[in-house]
Structure 1
Amino acid sequence: MVASLMPGARAVLRRITDLGGTASFDEVQQYFANHPISPITKAKMRGTLTSIKAVQRRVAPTGASRLLQRNERARFYHIDRALVEGLRRAFVLADARPDLLRGEPAARVT
């Protein structure tokens, strides 16, 4: 699923994971508002978060629980603890092998 996300959505998911799996909308929005590498405007942040849900509906098994859970009243986003650990491993792998996220063949080692 991580590979299916657009880079902005992947960065947001990673930020929430880095924060332990729970973050407020304002925390995430403020972090990316002036981000030096991948800024996300306030107007695009909600769409970025929604795209995570859309990708999961497309690639997850039928009946899978939501990866990113929202409490709209409190404006908090939460990822279950067991999923946070799996996402951390996925992001470590992505750092080591960025070609896996871009769908490009790995460079041959000779």
Structure 2
Amino acid sequence: MRVTVGETIAIGPGKIALLEALDETGSITAAARSLDMSYRRAWLLIDELNRALKTPAVATAAGGAKGGGSALTESGRALVTLYRQIEDNALVACKPEIRQLMKLLAT
């Protein structure tokens, strides 16, 4: 599922996966690495997502001697939970159509 605002994909599977990875690692760098993504790409996706929301999904702390860090905000956690619930509900509601669609794919 993707949610667009104008030409921008505000919320989509890649951004949700990035939020989940960030939640697990506590770091944009580590989250990006775990998804085989550059830090810059991850940072741009998070920045785009934060700008699309009323309140940011990710809070970041500047690096230093001990390094920085990032964490999901309450809004970020709610976003991931809601997104996954919508996915689960859609899967159940569309199960027959998904089966038909899968039959169209080459094996």
Q: Please provide the CA RMSD for this pair.
A: 2.9
What TM-score comes out, normalization by structure 1 length?
0.51
Does the 8 Å contact 1:69/1:77 carry over to 2?
yes
SS of the residue corresponding to residue 48 of structure 1 reads helix
User: Unaligned regions of 5+ residues in structure 2, if any?
Assistant: 4-9, 92-96, 98-107
Does the 8 Å contact 1:14/1:91 carry over to 2?
no
Residue 6 to residue 49, structure 1, CA distance change in 2 (3 Å): farther
SS of the residue corresponding to residue 65 of structure 1 reads coil
SS of the residue corresponding to residue 56 of structure 2 reads coil
Residue 67 to residue 86, structure 1, CA distance change in 2 (3 Å): closer
Q: Are 1:68 and 2:58 an aligned pair? A: yes
User: Unaligned regions of 5+ residues in structure 1, if any?
Assistant: 34-39, 99-106
Specify the structure having the higher radius of gyration (Cα).
Answer: 2
Q: Which has the higher strand share?
A: 2
What TM-score comes out, normalization by structure 2 length?
0.52
Does the 8 Å contact 2:57/2:77 carry over to 1?
no
CA drift of 1:10 comes to 2.9
Match for residue 47 of structure 1 among 41, 65, 68: 41
Higher RCO, 1 vs 2 (CA within 8 Å, ≥6 residues apart): 1
Percent identity between the aligned chains?
Answer: 12
1:72-102 Cα offsets, whole Å, 9 max, x none, are 313311112464144223223224427xxxx
Q: Are 1:12 and 2:5 an aligned pair? A: no
